[in-house]
Structure 1
Amino acid sequence: MRHVVVPDRGTAEAWRALARSCLQQGLPPSEINWGGEHSERSLFDGEPLTRSGPVNITVPRSFVALAETVCWHRDADRFARLYQFLWRLKDAPHLMGDRADPDLAHLRAMEKSVRRCQHKMKAFVRFREIGDPQAERRSFAAWFEPAHHTLEPTASFFANRFGDMDWRIVTPEKTAIFESGQLTFGPGAPKPELPDDANETLWLTYFRNIFNPARLKVKAMTSEMPRKYWKNLPEAATIPDLIDTAHARAQAMAQAQPTLPPLRAEKARNQLAALKSAWEGPGDELAEAIRACTACPLHKTATQAVPGVGPADAGLMIVGEQPGDQEDLEGLPFVGPAGQLFDAVAKSAGLDREKAFVTNAVKHFKFTPRGKRRLHQRPDSREIAIAKAGFTPKWRASSRN
């Protein structure tokens, strides 16, 4: 059994080099005891493994990205799990695409947990000024308790964002120090005594005013802002009161809303009225024009044209493709098998057919004779174009179909 020590700093890069050495020596996962700098060695551990020279081993890039993230997980078995999967992956690269693989699924869950921790760190670190505000480079400090070892991989985000000031982020295990544009890491420390922030009152006022009580969802809020972080967030002290008074504040907002529409609403109504069609709906003359239509050859073989039925001011229009055999014989839309299905669906949906205007896009039945039967045939592009022209408000009898 070989004991492999992965350092606490530069962990991802170090594990990658050590894993290469293990593969070069042909060490299977069962012969390696992975551990950190402060982990205890097993009674059966042999000599520690040392890094070897460059090793040419090819693995999918997606695994490299996965490993660089999982290395910062708090699970003590993270290095062993990564190597076990790498041992399989070297002979079967397709495993990176197998979502059903249990080893990969576990590593993906660990990756997701680390990335979530990094996201929370970026959102919840709160700096306090500890130096002279008049100095050329102002100095700040913050305390944070990450769920995983995410300070080192996340520190570059703060270095890029706050490059014009000196700062340090203290955690129980490690401290990130940024001074004069240089990022270094030191040992962890207990929570320091940080001074009050003069701008905190302004921030709390802003936080209270952007809180919308009418959209309060406590579970969603605590999912994005877990309670374990509240003790280090100044705004968290206001959250219980905001939750308790949310219902009353939402009612007050509803009662205080204006009773008259704003001036911009009148402008919007005028624009809507200008876009509304001048056609007031189908009348008796429309049905007569449909029955007299000869714009395409369909009128020659069909029994009759089938106009729509229903109230002219209906709020809902149902449009089918064309009449069927039964519709052609009776002169009414949706009375055949398709109409029976429509009636059943409409009833289950609570739709009153008598209150809807029911029609077809093409008003004549197009079919192919097969003995005594007439088989439905789709209308062609010309027939459909004529039907579309008939839907304009200024319809003409010669173009209606």
Structure 2
Amino acid sequence: MRCVRLASEIDLEGWRAAARGLLAEGSPPSNTCFLTRAAPGGLFEDEAPPSPVPPGSSLSVPRAFLDLAQQVALHRSEDRFDLLYRLLWRLQRERTLLHIVSDRDVADAMERAKNVSRAAHKMKAFVRFRRIEEAGGERWIAWFEPAHRVLERTAPFFQRRFTTMRWTILTPDGTADWDGEHLTFGPPATKDQAPEGDDVEDFWKTYYASTFNPARLKTKMMQSEMPRRYWANLPEASLIPGMIREAEARLGTMVATPASPANARLMRAIAPVVVRPEPVSAPDSLAALNGAAQGCRRCPLWRDATQAVCGKGPREAPLMIVGEQPGDQEDLAGEPFVGPAGQVLDTALAEADLDRTAAWVTNAVKHFKHEPRGRRRLHRTPDAGEVEACRWWLDAERALVKPRLIVTLGATAALGVLGRKIAVTKERGRPVQLDDGTPVLPTVHPSYLLRLPDAATREVERARFVEDLKAAKALVETV
């Protein structure tokens, strides 16, 4: 048996150098083994180092294998380096081996890598520091027993997280020490080297107990996320059995306790939900239409919007401009096209010699459809059902304004006015007629211009948009 003894339990570089030599010798996995300093050798094992790699020889492996090897080398299994050598040997003949996840060796390596990754995650979650005072000042020390040898891999996380602290993590595999400037690693430690509990730990246990919710207790789920193997080193773990025993009684007390009254100050700050009955017939004025739209419940969009945003302009405007829906700023202001797209529209209208204040500017959908993303509300395109539900209000606006020409901005606006989908980029600038003879001129939405990444393309498309508006000016003057 051809064996190589590595310098340490995680000596991946030593394994790589030895593996290259063994491959050059043609030593098969069945006749090869790797030992660490802690592993005893066998009676029939030859621990002679492998022959040097011949000059000019090269060895290539997929990057995925190197990433996998970095994980597997930290696993506590004794045959981890043998498994890696077996995969390396096979990769010389089966270049796509790592893609075959059903292969026994590949599946075994991936499972070990997953276990190592899980151990690193648990270390980040379950290390508990205790404060001590020493000659140099305050230091924080933690004792931890990771499931696998992940100390050196995980220590940089604590370096980034606690940069201003001086800390030491003690484990059976080694120690990590951060002095505020340098991260160093030392020999294995024992639990008796760690300090006993401190006052910070008492505060932590009080906080942990106060946040425990007996109504949400799921013991199996808790133990899957916080395995019992880590409980011995978690100060809060001493509280868990008692909290589990008392959970049922505490839950009963919570259910029996009357609800506390709502905070009066908060309730005054919350705007009441005003339910207005929707009109049976179309309103007879634009003011009445705007008021009635605030109570619209024809689709669910009203639930997340601040208000319904109807059109703005003179009562009998010759030109009606229809966009898609109000955006974030329009939803707050209660007026259409006041945000970035509105600024693009205003500039283009001015270049086309069209007066926005003489046009009726509105949207096909009156409520802002969006999804929250942190503190932002990101635009979402209304679907066909929402556009159809809002056509009642758009038709009512058109009946009151009686425009001589309608310009639709984008596909959603065209769908709301025409009742059918169109290919805007192909049909833009070509007027079509409604059943009552009103011409409709489709063009792109100003936000389309804002989304174009290339400055040259953006300038060309903006010029085309202005030309469409000039065509609208010529058409409205002749109708």
Q: Name the TM-score, length of structure 1 as normaliser.
A: 0.64
Q: Residues of 1 paired with 2:72 and 2:146: CA distance?
A: 15
- Tell me how far 1:98 sits from its aligned partner: 1.8
Please show how residues 66-81 of structure 1 align to structure 2 within 5 Å.
66-81=68-83
The corresponding residue for 2:109 is: 107
Q: Which moved more, 1:169-178 or 1:51-60?
A: 51-60
Shift of 1:14: 2.3
What is the one-letter code of the residue matched to 2:246?
A: T
5 Å-filtered alignment, 1:345-384, equals none
Conserved in 2, the CA contact under 8 Å of 1:70 and 1:110? yes
If the length of structure 2 is used for normalisation, what is the TM-score? 0.54
1:123 paired residue among 125, 129, 132: 125
Paired residue type of 2:138: R
Q: Which amino acid aligns with 1:235?
A: E
**2:216 counterpart of 1:239:** no
Could you report, residue by residue, the CA deviation over 1:12-58 in whole angstroms, capped at 9, with x for unpaired residues?
Answer: 22222222222232221112122111212222222422584686321
**SS across alignment from 1:43:** coil
Q: Quick check: 1:178–1:184 contact (8 Å CA) kept in 2?
A: no
Unaligned runs of 5+ in 2: 283-297, 300-384, 400-416, 420-479
Q: 3-state SS of the aligned residue for 1:199?
A: helix
In 2, Cα distance between the equivalents of 1:247 and 1:124?
27
Q: Distance in 1 between matches of 2:267 and 2:212?
A: 27
C-alpha contact (below 8 Å) 1:28/1:87 kept by paired residues: yes
SS in 2 for 1:93: coil
Q: 1:67 to 1:82 in 2, by over 3 A?
A: same
Shift of residue 226 of structure 1? 0.9
Which residue in 2 is equivalent to 1:228? 229
Offset of residue 277 of structure 1: 6.4
- Check conservation: 2:170, 2:194, Cα contact below 8 A: no
Pick aligned residue for 2:99 from 97, 100, 103: 97
Amino acid of the residue matched to residue 238 of structure 1?
L
Structure 2: distance between partners of 1:148 and 1:235: 23
In structure 2, what is the equivalent of residue 184 of structure 1? 185
1:122-162: CA deviation from partner (whole Å, max 9, x where unpaired): 21122223332xx5553332222222222232223233333
Distance 2:11 2:169 in 1: 19
Alignment check: 8 A CA contact 2:143 2:194 kept = no
- The answer for the alignment partner of 2:2 in structure 1 is 2
Letter in 2 for 1:68: Q
Alignment gaps of 5+ in structure 1:
287-314, 317-383
1:234-278 per-residue CA deviation (whole Å, 9 max, x = no partner) reads: 1111112222222333344442423558665576563x42xx564
RMSD: 3.6
CA contact (8 A) 1:177 1:183 kept: yes
- The within-5 A match list for 1:213-292 is 213-254=214-255, 255-259=257-261, 264=266, 270=272, 272-273=273-274, 278-279=277-278
Alignment CA distance shift 1:26-1:175 (3 Å)? same
Q: CA deviation at 1:386?
A: 11
Give the Å deviation of 1:230: 1.1
Structure 1 residues 59 and 136: alpha-carbon distance in aligned structure 2, compared to 1, 3 A threshold: same
- Output the CA distance in 1 between the equivalents of 2:388 and 2:34: 75
Q: What percent identity do the matched residue pairs reach?
A: 38
Q: Secondary structure at the match of 2:190?
A: coil
Matched residue pairs, number?
300
- Aligned equivalent of 1:363: none
What's the counterpart of residue 90 of structure 2? Answer: 88
